[in-house]
Amino acid sequence: MGSKGKAGLDFSGKVVLITGAASGIGAATAEMFSKLGACLTLVDREEEGLLCLMKKCIKTGREPYGIAGDLLKPVEIECIARKTTERFGGKLDVLVNGAGVMPTGTLQSTELACFTHVMEANVRSAFYLTKLLLPHLLQCKGNIINVSSVGGLRAFPNQVAYNMSKAAVDQFTRSLALDLAPQGVRVNAVNPGVIRTNLHKAGGMDEQSYADFLESSKQTHALGRIGEPTEVASVICFLASELASFVTGVTLPVDGGKQLMCPR
């Protein structure tokens, strides 16, 4: 990669906020942005995991700013927005909406409370945090990366609420991209396939079920394996960088070809 390419991935002096940062894709993304010189605000409700991640980032870059907050509570979203803009003087170059949940269930088995929870965690939180931070992104002509899912592009069984929420995230991405393009703000999404994170276990899978799922998932991805968090993180950093300066409104599968496969 030439000097222009290296410069394109230099986030020195750039302020990056990542939600869902304490584990999985969020943590890998935080570590990668840290290595690339970014000033980080890391948000998660899991304080212990957040502190652990902050220590890792300190070893590779400057000390990040951590905020323990629950994105299900609008008042805490408001607090997160206020704290990060105060910390960095109103500057914000990149917003990564990475927080989310993934319960399983069909229409028959999904209670209304569960559906509401999924939509609030995966859609409303990103909508409201982005709305609050938008003036600062506009000022910096920054960009937004939403972490969606291959489930936003294709329907998968026993995930009705999750599929719906991620389809909403994709449409949110496209709508924002059109609205903000004239003002110089880019908006894109990544759509991961099965990635080695704690998301499925947090959604209710036990250890054996998760191990069986990972094994069977090798057959549902064209590349014959599941993905790693760093493989999604690298695409997020690319989309946030100057290397993607002419890319907006994209919902980019990072899924080993899963969205191309026929159901089995």
pLDDT one-digit tens code per residue, 119-145: 999 999 999 999 999 999 999 999 999
**Shortest CA distance to 244 belongs to which of 3, 5, 45?**
5
Say what the pLDDT of residue 263 is: 61
Whether 111 has a pLDDT exceeding 50, the answer reads yes
Q: Using N-to-C axis directions, what is the helix angle for 112-119 and 160-180, rounded to 10°?
A: 30
pLDDT value of residue 107: 97
Catalytic residue chosen out of the listed positions 65, 128, 162, 210: 162
pLDDT in tens, 171-199: 999 999 999 999 999 999 999 999 998 76
Tens-digit pLDDT profile for residues 21-34? 999 999 999 999 99
The architecture of the domain spanning 3-253 is 3-Layer(aba) Sandwich (3.40)
Side-chain half-sphere CA neighbours of 207 within 13 A: 0
- Tell me, what's the pLDDT at 264? 53
Predicted confidence band at 4 (pLDDT cuts at 50, 70, 90)? very low
In whole angstroms, give the CA distance from residue 61 to residue 35: 6
Q: Of 13, 38, 21, 146, which is closest to residue 80 (Cα–Cα)? A: 21
Q: In the chain, what are the domain boundaries?
A: 3-253
Helix ranges (H only) for 62-206 are 74-87, 112-119, 125-140, 160-180, 199-202
Q: Identify whether 65 is a catalytic site residue.
A: no
